[in-house]
Each structure stands twice: as C-alpha cells, then as structure tokens.
A and B are shown apart, each in its own frame.
Chain A
Amino acid sequence: QSVLSQPPSVSGTPGQRVTISCSGSNSNIGSNTVNWYQQLAGTAPTLLIYSYNRRPSGVPDRFSGSRSGTSASLAISGLQSEDEADYYCAAWDDNLSGYVFGAGTKVTVL
C-alpha cells in the first residue's frame, strides 16, 4: 500500500478540467515538496511538475500543481487526447528516509 494515496482513475471529455488528488501525511507532503510524473503508455515516466507547482520547459501551462496541508493536487485544464496517461505524485518522506510515489492515477479522455 502506497504512502501517498491517489484515486485509481479519473476521466473527462476534451476541453474539460480534471484534478488528481494526492493525500499524504506530515512526514511527506506536509513538510516536503511534491512532484508529479506523467507516464504515457509504453514509455518511461517524465517529470511534469516539480516543487509543488513548477513546470519544466516544454510542459504546457494546462498542467498545474498545488498543495494544501498534507494533500496535493494536479489539475489539467483544457483536457486533450494526448493527456491520456498514468500520473504519479511523489515526495520525500522523513519517517521512511526515502522517496515515495503514489500508486498512480490513470487519466482517460472520453
């Protein structure tokens, strides 16, 4: 069972806004920065959001991250078919002295 909890799946229609939640605790999200990774089918993951809400160059501004207390969220606005992928939140956990990932959320574009 993952230390960070994500919904298994979310779906939306093209153009819609969807959000993915990531629930943790004081030892991870509550005290350390959160990152998000995107994994398209059959490919290696790539960095999507780092340090809560910063986007690497090349990542569209449709993707945004936020944190409130011990939870974080990834929002995708203007959903597009190419956004269909698995999304993972991640953070350092002080109690485990390790980097932890959520179990992943599959985004489906209807």
Chain B
Amino acid sequence: EVQLVQSGPEVKKPGESLMISCETSGYSFTNYWVGWVRQMPGKGLEWVANICPGDSQTRYSRSFQGQVTISADKSISTAYLQWSSLKASDTAMYYCVRRATGSTTSDHWFDPWGQGTLVIVSS
C-alpha cells in the first residue's frame, strides 16, 4: 500500500524557519515526482511545488517561487518543504502528494495524499 505520512502540526512565530516532512512507503520513491499542496483556512487547494527524487529536478508554482524550498532524501524516501522566514500568511494546511503520470507529462494527477501538516504562524 502506498502511504505518505507527514510530520506533525507546527506553531511558529513570524520570521522563524521551518521544515516539514513527508515520509513515503509502498513504492519506488525515485520513480514518481512528489509535491506539496497548500490549503489556507476555509479556502481551496493551491499547488506549491514538485520534486523528482531521482534527479532532484524541481518545479515551483510562480506564486510560491522564492518563498519555499522543496527537497528530498532518497536514502529515507522522504520529501520536505521548508521556509527560511515564516509569515503569518503561511498559516495553512500543507498536503504532501505523489504525482502519477499518464501518456503525456501534462497528463498527471495527485494520488495519494498525505494526511496534512497544519502550520500556524502567529506572534
């Protein structure tokens, strides 16, 4: 069974740094891109970034480029999302996702999803 298990909730102050994790199992980690999706309180879903664990290629949403960093550790099949200086507006639930691809690279979807990591940034 494919599983994505995320790290626990975080409460941070503005300006602090943070790294959240997504531990994967049940498949070959290097064969699938892994990504992150943000959901702000009471709002919809926003794609943040993807990474190919096999060669560390990354893709960022223009909205998040420069705001976060995605990374992966092949040795422990784990992906990360990190902030160097958090803002109150980073308060949200963050979901880890595995990207599956169809016949073309633009034919892709997210499945499964992790359980979510709640990040609260407040002074």
**Which A residues are closer than 8 A to B by beta carbons?**
2, 31-33, 35, 37, 39, 44-47, 50-51, 56, 88, 90, 92, 94, 96-104
Contact = CB atoms under 8 A, between A and B. Distances in A.
**Chain B interface bracket (under 10, 10 to 19, 20 to 34, 35 or more):** 20 to 34
Contacts of A98: 47, 59, 61-62
Contacts of A99: 47, 61, 108, 110
Interface of B: 37, 44-47, 59, 61-62, 95, 100, 102, 106-116
Contacts of A104: 44-45
A51 B47 contact: no
Contact of B102 (A33, A44, A47): A33
Contacts, number: 68
A32 B95 contact: no
Given A44-B95, A51-B102, A88 B44 contact: yes
Contacts of A103: 44
A99 B59 CA distance: 10
A62 B112 CA distance: 21
Contacts of A101: 44-47
A51 to B, nearest CB: 5
20 contacts: A2-B44, A31-B106, A32-B106, A32-B107, A33-B106, A33-B109, A44-B113, A44-B114, A45-B113, A46-B111, A46-B113, A47-B113, A50-B102, A90-B45, A94-B106, A96-B61, A99-B108, A101-B45, A102-B44, A103-B44
B115 A44 contact: yes
B2 to A, nearest CB: 11
A98 B59 CA distance: 8
